[in-house]
Structure 1
Amino acid sequence: MTMTKVTTQTRESKKENTSLRAKGFVPAVVYGYKTDSKAIAVEEIELIKVLREVGRNGVMKLDVDGKTINAVLTDYQQDPIKGQILHADFLAINMSEELEVAVTVTPVGDAVGVKEGGSLTQPNREVTVKVKPSDIPDHIEVDVSELNIGETLTLGEVRDKIDFDVQEEDDYALVSIAAPRSDEELEELDSTEDEETTEEDATDVEATEEAPEEEKAE
């Protein structure tokens, strides 16, 4: 198994975070196996490149003060507008021990229900898998080709086809096929949205008209 190395630098305090981000670094923390919690920073460009190479659950080698630490990215915060990674959490791991990771569920096949006009939804997009770091999958595929309108595919129905130890219960819903909405339902939905918009506009007008009186009272 090939692991990509990521160079880090020590971060002394939270006061540095703003300046680090301005320089293209991501404030982060690493903790876990034989590793005391330590504040670090990694180059955002390098982190993004590595994640593209090894995947969201991929193992990477962190170079921390000259020491190499095998780690996985457990969490990160991202600016919803700019897309900038604001902070990252790394878990130091023992390559010979199993760990639990969240893995994306990918539906494959053309569902019968979708062909008949239904829409495919995923009540749960991930499952928790207990696995050794070297065997972490990028995703888990589930065949939905025989799924009809109104039916839901649960974990129990496909567990024996998954080559990993999935932790959720058998009734854990993975994929559903919803019935298409009738013209009446769509019209009712549009009508409800129009009413809500009208009420919001009316509230805004009332608030605007009352504002001067409140200011005078103050």
Structure 2
Amino acid sequence: MAVTLDAQKRENLQSSYTKALRQSGEVPSIIYGYQVEPKTVAVNSLELVKTLRDEGKNAIISLQIDGETVDVILHEYQTDPLKDELVHADFYAVNMKEEMDVQVPISLEGEAVGVKEGGVLQQPLYELSVRAKPNDIPEQITIDVSKLSVGDSISVSDLKDGKGYEILEDEATTIVSILVPSAEPEETPTDEEQSEPEVINQKNKE
């Protein structure tokens, strides 16, 4: 089910007006995509951040613009690295009846047996490319790693397509593995341990 957000048309594109929008808590945005002429809008920053936090980055958002409803997905966004605030967002209008390709985050569940035995968990893949209709896109794909021992791994081929979506990644791609712990280097004597105490040297001189 789509989340509803209000959006206001943004016709003044001057930098001073855009700056004022951000200061008032609005995010300058653009909408484009399926059966939509590109249009500039602004949405409430707090509401958008809350939606992303609660529903995930692939959430379907119904933008309400002057009585018109447009179903979109957040395609890209920019943040201010110093203030950690949203400064711009791109919304892509979707066809709710047509499949689309998206990246879905991977969530690991459980503590691997191999980690308890001293192994090191390595996760080279953090997102999966999947194909699904907008309403069938999962928020995340959860993988249970609790039974993995040292030397074990999980690849894309070990996963099954979920209800309503198809995984597009190469089946040979490794998602997570438990590596053998590296041997600790032998301790070497320090310079102080190798040299004789100064008192002995003094006695030898005498």
TM-score (norm 2): 0.80
In structure 1, the residue corresponding to 2:84 is in which secondary structure? coil
In 2, Cα distance between the equivalents of 1:78 and 1:103?
Answer: 21
In structure 1, the residue corresponding to 2:146 is in which secondary structure? coil
Residue of structure 2 equivalent to 1:182: 183
Aligned length: 185
Moved more, 83-92 or 175-184: 175-184
Which string of whole-angstrom CA distances, capped at 9 and with x for unpartnered residues, describes residues 136-195 of structure 1? 11111122233233443210122x36443011110122112233333318x89xxxxxxx
The answer to whether the aligner puts 1:13 opposite 2:13 as a matched pair is yes
In structure 1, the residue corresponding to 2:115 is in which secondary structure? helix
CA contact (8 A) 2:3 2:59 kept: no
The answer to whether the aligner puts 1:93 opposite 2:113 as a matched pair is no
Moved more, 145-154 or 60-69: 145-154
Residue of structure 2 equivalent to 1:80: 81
The answer to whether the aligner puts 1:23 opposite 2:24 as a matched pair is yes
The answer to whether the aligner puts 1:165 opposite 2:166 as a matched pair is yes
In 2, Cα distance between the equivalents of 1:181 and 1:99?
Answer: 42
CA contact (8 A) 2:112 2:145 kept: yes
In 1, Cα distance between the equivalents of 2:157 and 2:6?
Answer: 42
In 1, Cα distance between the equivalents of 2:162 and 2:68?
Answer: 37
Highest Rg: 1 or 2?
A: 2
What is the deviation of 1:37?
A: 1.5
What value does the CA root-mean-square deviation take over the aligned residues? 2.2
In structure 1, the residue corresponding to 2:185 is in which secondary structure? helix
Which string of whole-angstrom CA distances, capped at 9 and with x for unpartnered residues, describes residues 61-95 of structure 1? 11224311001112211223322011111110111
* Unaligned ranges ≥5, structure 1: 189-218
In structure 1, the residue corresponding to 2:138 is in which secondary structure? coil
In structure 2, the residue corresponding to 1:184 is in which secondary structure? coil
Change (3 A) 1:183 1:14: farther
Which string of whole-angstrom CA distances, capped at 9 and with x for unpartnered residues, describes residues 100-156 of structure 1? 121111122321211111222221111011111111111111222332334432101
In 1, Cα distance between the equivalents of 2:161 and 2:19?
Answer: 47
Residue of structure 1 equivalent to 2:47: 46
Residue of structure 2 equivalent to 1:206: none
Q: Residue type of the partner of 1:67?
A: E
The answer to which structure has the higher helix fraction is 1
* Unaligned ranges ≥5, structure 2: 189-206
Instruction: Write out aligned runs for 1:1-218 (5 A).
Output: 1=1, 3-11=2-10, 12-13=12-13, 15=15, 16-158=17-159, 160=160, 162-163=162-163, 164-184=165-185
In 1, Cα distance between the equivalents of 2:121 and 2:152?
Answer: 10
In 1, Cα distance between the equivalents of 2:125 and 2:161?
Answer: 18
Question: What percent of counterpart residues are identical?
Answer: 40
TM-score (norm 1): 0.76
